[in-house]
Amino acid sequence: MVDINRVQGTAREAVGSIQEGVGSFIGDSKTQIQGKVKQFAGQAQDAYGQAADGARAVAGTISSNVERQPIPAILIAAVAGYLIGMISARR
């Protein structure tokens, strides 16, 4: 499933590109700059959506691995907790 931020970001980037082109065509630097800003905002929103999609995929993989092999997952979590406790106790 595609994150809504990817769709909205791509649309915002396209609108910004059109706005920048119109600003360039009519010689309006303000419109041109606003278009570039929208493009950048769209790219940032799309990147956020991609990161969210990636995080969901990783969470799904981890969840299915934990369901298939709960004992190793518990042991890994216990070791990680122990190591974090040891590191934080030294400070």
pLDDT for res 80: 96
Q: What is the pLDDT of residue 18?
A: 96
pLDDT, tens digit, for every residue of 1-52? 788 999 999 999 999 999 999 999 999 999 999 999 999 999 999 999 999 9
Of the pLDDT bands very low, low, confident and very high (cuts 50, 70, 90), residue 63 is very high
Structural domain boundaries in the chain: 4-89
Q: How far, in Å, are 13, 34, 50, 60, 86 from residue 5 at the CA level?
A: 12, 20, 8, 20, 39
CA distance to 33, 63, 78, per residue, from 58 (Å):
38, 8, 20
Residue that has been written with the tokens 């799904």 in this structure = 60
pLDDT at 73 over 80: yes
> H/E element holding 38?
helix 29-68
